[in-house]
Structure 1
Amino acid sequence: MDRATVVDRALTEDLGTAPGPRVPDPVFGATDRMRGTIVGAVITLIAIATRFWDLTHPTDKGTPVFDEKHYVPQGWQVLTGGNFIEDNPAYGLVVHPPVGKWMLAAGQWMFGYNPMGWRVMSAVSGVIIVLAIYLTVRRMTGSTLIGAIAGIFAICEGVLFVQSRLGMLDIFQILFVTLAFAALIADRDQMRARMHRVWTQGRIDDSPFGPRFGFRWYRFTAGVMLGLACGVKWSGAYFVIVFTVLSLGFDVATRRAYHVKRPWVGVLRRDLLPSASSLGLLPFAMYVASFAPWFASESSVYRYAVGEKVGVDGPFSWVPAAMRSFWYYESGILEFHAGLTNAAGNHHPWESKPWTWPMGLRPMLYAISYGPDQCGGSDCVRAQMLVGTPALWWLALPMIAWGLWRIISRRDWRYAAVLAAYGAAILPWFLEIDRQMYFFYATAMAPFLVMGLALMCGDLLRAPPPGAQSERRLISVLAVSIFVALVIANFVWLWPILTGAPISNVEWGQQIWLPSWS
């Protein structure tokens, strides 16, 4: 019986039989550690096999493909430039922070300037993401089985898979975001364990605001991960905001669950400032710290903008010149991104808008080549597309609807957490519809999509109430088994266009399921 079942049954029992106010059962995560470790190891090995299989293909005649052409050389410059920075302004400025380029540089340091060097750190990140999803869902549900289903979904999810095999930045940001989410879920359990200890010791009423939680290493870890996410791309800031609110929501729920007299005031007095520090100020400090090589270098772009591009006088003359130059640099990045709009004439044949992302209606073609030289004498195609596995992505809207129903009807915190993170990945993009956008921006949605679908499978597999017929459980097990098998089969079918394997022109046509895919 998983933790959700234990809690649900506890909530439906007659409260009059309890000697005092009811509190949550002290069940935090799955208890089958040995089985969980074995299952996690198997899932990790499968993730390694899929992510590293033929990792050096495809290429553009031995050179990077798609946006690898931007980021791979930048990573090489970071590695070979001598200052751990990208000092070539390219289009007038460096448009992304340095952390993702450091990750690419690490791979090139190990394997050189070649496809393995470009992509090895992406593949490693992809494997860690799969493991993190498995462990997070296992903790949220208290079930190794549901965690394993989430891990299988993560392995077979096309967007995570393709991004794990290319030298681009998005997979690194998603790595840090997923780890931050996992840390927040672990922090929630740890704080509930501390609160339960206070409750059993009879100290819950020592203060109307509840106990102090003390230093929270998991929350601190989440802040570090969010800082690294922002250090890859600015869109990590959306998760900083949402995860801070989510953490405070967990704290309110924890204090209420243990009957603290003034839970909201307790959170405001005892949790707000520490949460803001760990999840707000710490990521900002880490973001600035990631530019330490920029501050230390004499040749970094715009390092000495004050006096050249920025006046030495004015109301901010008291700010150190280095920080003013840094602000000028950052404002240039903002201006650059703000100008990437359709109204300004920026268009791309594979552009998409966020309302198409939940179901993956407009994927992206990363690489394609035709001709007999591609497969030993007969005409064929090598194409790599960023496409979400339809068996998963086409259920996004039902997952959202089910999650909202569970939140409203059952106050299911698991769906609240997953949908909050999913929303942080997509909703902010609706605020700037005119901006040029691509489906790879939806990479941030993928971990939380598979988590939500795994939770749905868990709901189907939940033990039936007393008196229910065994046929109901049999049907549930059969339905989930068929769905998991369908996801795996769908992934296997898409394998050629996810990896750039050679296929015939007929097979290529069979891979294009919708007109919007071409």
Structure 2
Amino acid sequence: MMAVLGGVLRFTRLGEPGALVFDETYYVKDAYSLLQSGYERAWPEDANESFTAGQPQVLLDEPEYVVHPPVGKWMIAFGMALFGSDNAFGWRFGAALTGALTVLLLGLIAARLFSSATLGALAGLFLAVDGHHLVHSRTSLLDVFLTFWIVAAFGALLLDRRDGRLRLARALSRTAGGGDPGGGALLYGPWLLWRPWRIVAGACLGLAVGTKWSALAFVAVFGLMTVLWDVSARRVAGVRLWETALFRDGIPAFFTIIPAALISYAASWSGWLLSDNAYNRQWARENPDEGWSWLPAPVRSLAEYHRSAYAFHNGLSSEHSYSSNAWTWLFMGRPTSFFYESSAEGEAGCAVESCSTAVTSVGNPLIWWGAALSLLLVLFYWAGRRDWRAGAVLSGVAAGYLPWFAYPERTTFFFYAVSFEPFLILALVYVLGLILGRPADSPHRRRIGLLVTGCFVAGVLALSAYFLPVWTAETIPYSGWRLRMWMPSWI
């Protein structure tokens, strides 16, 4: 149900505005190039106008230098292949579909993580109606695709946790049944080498990195998280030297997740590798004495491309009017304006003296500010009560958020936070679960919890309805737009 709601919000008026907005000017063009050639090509200066007017697009013969991998752009290209590249619905279809699927995934993940269909529904609802994720789902930037693959990887590791514990219990049960309840098996525990859900998680993480390199932090954090889950499982099961799980589970996890990630990541570059004219494709032939000469020429060229792109990202410090420091993200200090257009009476459906049409990535304040406060309680439950669910939620937030503090001079934007927004919502839902209480609590306690949660949900829905016009490019009076800009820094 929540995925349906998310889909309705994402697909309704998806073609508005009908022009390329914000960084769509890069990624939509790259996606079209991939459809035509398998690699990114340069465009004439008037390319934006040809997209807006629904005219045929004309690519230049020269390759284009880009600094993001191709997975997200291929996902944009999917919609363009289905519905055409000459309309906004076509180039935004992939983002809208991916956003709706993320709502579905998060709801299923929360239901399993908290063993509650109610909390799963709340998680799906909050992501469905939050403006930050909604704006990303209605514009063709890369971050909504990055978020999808990260959430999918987390869900796969959650399934692996359950599967691994069941297999561990069965293996130990067979050992005990064989008359060796305290022997070697309970000293170290069995090897659990075949972990298909880890392969799935690795492939998803590779596709996340193939969308944006910032996903590398999730590879490291999720890899550590899944091994620590196995360490805990062996300790609970009575394995005496449970610390050896760092070896018995850590090494197989590494050689399962990392190869799967590398394979899916390398496959995403197949268009570039199979071409002759892509940017830097012939670098190895032109520079035979540079780099790792023992590698095949295509791999050397790709390695040089990656080195160049990494240097670009590290040196990205140009000023931008909507840049924001990571310290401000949790409180939405400076949301990004994707689109803004003013109109006078009689223009674009404006019925008053002055109107505004905007797409702003401001989130639902109750969701974001509530989630920011919830992190403190989740941190307490992880550190003080060793709740693995709290640790899992914090892992996602840490992987998506903390690495940005290592680059204080780099130009960063609030919309990067969408990659860990699902984990913020899980933190919020975790706390709402505590408020709702347990089935064993008194009826009075349960009623209070239900009342508080119901009021919170009602407030979330009311605020989402209020902010919806500035998320979906509706033309509203200028005074109405200003009323929705609660902070001067939002303008």
Structure 2 length-normalised TM: 0.91
Q: Counterparts of 1:426 and 1:91 in 2: how far apart (Å)?
A: 34
Unaligned 5+ runs, structure 2: 44-61
Q: Secondary structure at the match of 1:256?
A: helix
1:263 aligns with 2:242: yes
1:223 aligns with 2:202: yes
Q: Counterparts of 1:268 and 1:393 in 2: how far apart (Å)?
A: 36
Partner of 1:251: 230
Q: Counterparts of 1:299 and 1:515 in 2: how far apart (Å)?
A: 48
The question of whether the paired residues in 2 share the 8 Å contact of 1:363 and 1:517 is answered with: yes
1:306 aligns with 2:260: no
Give the counterpart of 2:123 among 150, 161, 169: 150
The question of whether the paired residues in 2 share the 8 Å contact of 1:177 and 1:229 is answered with: yes
The question of whether the paired residues in 2 share the 8 Å contact of 1:306 and 1:325 is answered with: yes
Q: CA deviation at 1:80?
A: 1.7
Q: Counterparts of 1:197 and 1:273 in 2: how far apart (Å)?
A: 22
1:85 aligns with 2:39: yes
Partner of 2:26: 70
1:425 aligns with 2:403: no
Residue type of the partner of 1:306? A
Partner of 1:26: none
- The C-alpha deviation readout for 1:366-421, integer Å capped at 9, x for no partner, is 11111131225533111110011100111233211101110122211111001111
Q: Counterparts of 2:457 and 2:189 in 1: how far apart (Å)?
A: 44
The question of whether the paired residues in 1 share the 8 Å contact of 2:63 and 2:279 is answered with: no
Partner of 2:349: 375
Q: Secondary structure at the match of 2:67?
A: coil
The question of whether the paired residues in 2 share the 8 Å contact of 1:57 and 1:115 is answered with: yes
Matches within 5 A, 1:459-478: 459-463=434-438, 469-478=442-451
Q: Counterparts of 1:396 and 1:213 in 2: how far apart (Å)?
A: 37
Partner of 1:175: 148
Give the counterpart of 1:125 among 92, 95, 98: 98
1:454 aligns with 2:429: yes
Partner of 2:57: none
The question of whether the paired residues in 2 share the 8 Å contact of 1:464 and 1:472 is answered with: no
Matches within 5 A, 1:24-43: 42-43=1-2
Residue type of the partner of 2:337? L
The question of whether the paired residues in 1 share the 8 Å contact of 2:188 and 2:241 is answered with: yes
- The C-alpha deviation readout for 1:216-241, integer Å capped at 9, x for no partner, is 11111100100000011111111000
Residue type of the partner of 2:266? V
Q: Counterparts of 1:476 and 1:200 in 2: how far apart (Å)?
A: 41
CA 1:259–1:118: 2 relative to 1, 3 Å: same
Partner of 1:46: 5
Q: CA deviation at 1:288?
A: 2.1
Q: Counterparts of 1:138 and 1:73 in 2: how far apart (Å)?
A: 39
CA 1:377–1:483: 2 relative to 1, 3 Å: closer
Q: CA deviation at 1:129?
A: 0.5
The question of whether the paired residues in 2 share the 8 Å contact of 1:359 and 1:396 is answered with: no
- The C-alpha deviation readout for 1:196-255, integer Å capped at 9, x for no partner, is 333444367551211222411111110010000001111111100000000101110111
Q: Secondary structure at the match of 2:339?
A: strand
Residue type of the partner of 1:360? M
The question of whether the paired residues in 1 share the 8 Å contact of 2:291 and 2:300 is answered with: no
Q: Counterparts of 2:422 and 2:489 in 1: how far apart (Å)?
A: 24
CA 1:92–1:117: 2 relative to 1, 3 Å: closer
The question of whether the paired residues in 2 share the 8 Å contact of 1:224 and 1:283 is answered with: yes
Partner of 2:191: 212
Partner of 1:316: 292
Partner of 1:11: none
The question of whether the paired residues in 2 share the 8 Å contact of 1:95 and 1:336 is answered with: yes
The question of whether the paired residues in 2 share the 8 Å contact of 1:241 and 1:280 is answered with: no
Partner of 1:191: 164
Q: Counterparts of 1:314 and 1:478 in 2: how far apart (Å)?
A: 67
- The C-alpha deviation readout for 1:150-184, integer Å capped at 9, x for no partner, is 11111122111110111111111110000000111
Q: CA deviation at 1:301?
A: 1.0
The question of whether the paired residues in 1 share the 8 Å contact of 2:99 and 2:133 is answered with: yes
1:398 aligns with 2:373: yes
Q: Counterparts of 1:404 and 1:479 in 2: how far apart (Å)?
A: 22
The question of whether the paired residues in 2 share the 8 Å contact of 1:403 and 1:452 is answered with: yes
Partner of 2:477: 504
Partner of 2:384: 409
The question of whether the paired residues in 1 share the 8 Å contact of 2:168 and 2:190 is answered with: yes
Q: CA deviation at 1:322?
A: 1.8
CA 1:130–1:314: 2 relative to 1, 3 Å: closer
Q: Counterparts of 1:314 and 1:66 in 2: how far apart (Å)?
A: 38
Q: CA deviation at 1:469?
A: 4.6
The question of whether the paired residues in 1 share the 8 Å contact of 2:146 and 2:212 is answered with: yes
CA 1:314–1:45: 2 relative to 1, 3 Å: closer
The question of whether the paired residues in 2 share the 8 Å contact of 1:224 and 1:282 is answered with: yes
Residue type of the partner of 2:199? F
Partner of 1:19: none
Give the counterpart of 2:413 among 432, 438, 443: 438
Unaligned 5+ runs, structure 1: 1-41
Q: Counterparts of 2:63 and 2:282 in 1: how far apart (Å)?
A: 18
Q: Counterparts of 1:416 and 1:91 in 2: how far apart (Å)?
A: 45
Residue type of the partner of 2:401? I
Residue type of the partner of 2:279? V
Partner of 2:268: 290
Partner of 2:52: none
The question of whether the paired residues in 2 share the 8 Å contact of 1:107 and 1:120 is answered with: yes
Partner of 2:333: 361
Q: Counterparts of 2:442 and 2:268 in 1: how far apart (Å)?
A: 59
Partner of 1:334: 310
Q: Secondary structure at the match of 1:451?
A: helix
Q: CA RMSD in A?
A: 1.8
Q: Secondary structure at the match of 1:306?
A: helix
Q: CA deviation at 1:440?
A: 1.1
Residue type of the partner of 2:40? E
